[in-house]
Amino acid sequence: MGAVMEKLRILIADDHEVVRQGVRNLLEGRPGWEVCAEAVDGRAAVEKAVELKPDIVILDIGMPNLNGLEATRQILHNRPEAKVLILTIHESEQVVREVLEAGARGYLLKSDTGRDLVSAIEALHKNQTFFTSNVAEMVLENYLRNKPESSPGTKNELTPREREIVQLLAEGKSTKEVAVALGLSVKTAETHRANIMRKLNLHSISELVLYAVRNNIVQVVQPGLESQRQS
């Protein structure tokens, strides 16, 4: 018997039934994808993520009882390997920074859902990040404007091993997962992480993600750029 391909399991959380149904309709026709559950608020999303272990969690940022950002933190605490995509009606640099801080890897405007949801899920499944186009440009341009290089060679100051660790951290891996992936002790991985943050003068995981995107250590997918990327 041949190996059976495991389905990509997706959890949808939004307090509006029409949004959940719309998202489900966009996803259910994709071969190999399965909507394993829906949740009406952040607390239910956390409970179902723990119970059902989805690969991808789609969260509305503005849910009652527990908002999408706090739900993201709790879901990733319980299931670090999950990838979270935030849906929002707001286009804000501050919100996207908070989304990154919480550990989500994607940020999609609800108005772009019909056009970009499938691309966003595909990107997260490949350990890439995905931002609604205008937000990605806004955040990256602001980062370039307000975060001058300490020296022209900052990118090259990292050792190959440190660049490897930056990629894993930017892809959402925990320090423990980095240690396992690279065959290091957790203490050594923590030391590397601290050295990287000090060397690059970074203070949060969101800054590290932006650094990794800026220096082509990880790839950010934006709508309209698919044709420009090498297949």
pLDDT 10s digits, 129-168 = 888 777 666 666 665 566 544 444 444 478 878 888 988 8
Higher pLDDT among residues 139 and 36, named by residue: 36
pLDDT at 210 (0 to 100): 81
For residue 159 the two structure tokens come to 């050792």
Phi, psi of 60 (to 5 degrees): -70, 135
Taking the model in full, what pTM does it have? Answer: 0.67
Is residue 52 a part of any domain in this protein?
yes
Name the DSSP letter for residue 228. Answer: G
pLDDT at 215 (0 to 100): 73
Task: Summarize pLDDT for 70-116 with one digit per residue, the tens.
Answer: 899 999 989 988 999 999 887 777 777 788 888 898 889 999 999 99
11, β-bridge pairs: 37, 57
Residue 219 pLDDT level (bands cut at 50, 70, 90): low
For every residue of 61-82, DSSP letters joined together read TT-SSS-HHHHHHHHHHH-TT-
Query: Nearest-CA neighbor of 100 among 125, 123, 131?
Result: 131
Q: Mean per-residue pLDDT for 49-74?
A: 93
pLDDT at 35 (0 to 100): 96
DSSP three-state, residue 197 = helix
Total domains in the chain come to 2
Are 174 and 211 in a shared domain?
A: yes
The Cβ of residue 90 has, within 10 Å, a number of other Cβ atoms equal to 13
Is residue 41 a part of any domain in this protein?
yes
Is residue 80 a part of any domain in this protein?
yes
Are 124 and 156 in a shared domain?
A: no
Report whether 181 contacts 127 (CB < 8 A): no
Is residue 229 a part of any domain in this protein?
no
Is the model's pLDDT at 205 over the cut of 50?
Answer: yes
Q: Mean per-residue pLDDT for 21-38?
A: 93
Is the model's pLDDT at 175 over the cut of 70?
Answer: yes
Report whether 39 contacts 72 (CB < 8 A): no
Higher pLDDT among residues 40 and 167, named by residue: 40
Please state, in angstroms and as integers, the Cα–Cα distance from residue 25 to each residue in 58, 87, 89, 166, following that order.
14, 16, 19, 36
Task: Summarize pLDDT for 150-161 with one digit per residue, the tens.
Answer: 444 444 478 878
Is residue 77 a part of any domain in this protein?
yes
Q: Mean per-residue pLDDT for 114-134?
A: 88
For residue 82 the two structure tokens come to 């999950």
Q: Mean per-residue pLDDT for 28-35?
A: 91
Are 85 and 39 in a shared domain?
A: yes
Are 51 and 122 in a shared domain?
A: yes
Is residue 3 a part of any domain in this protein?
no
Q: What is the mean pLDDT of the chain?
A: 83
Residue 193 to residue 84: CA distance in whole angstroms: 23
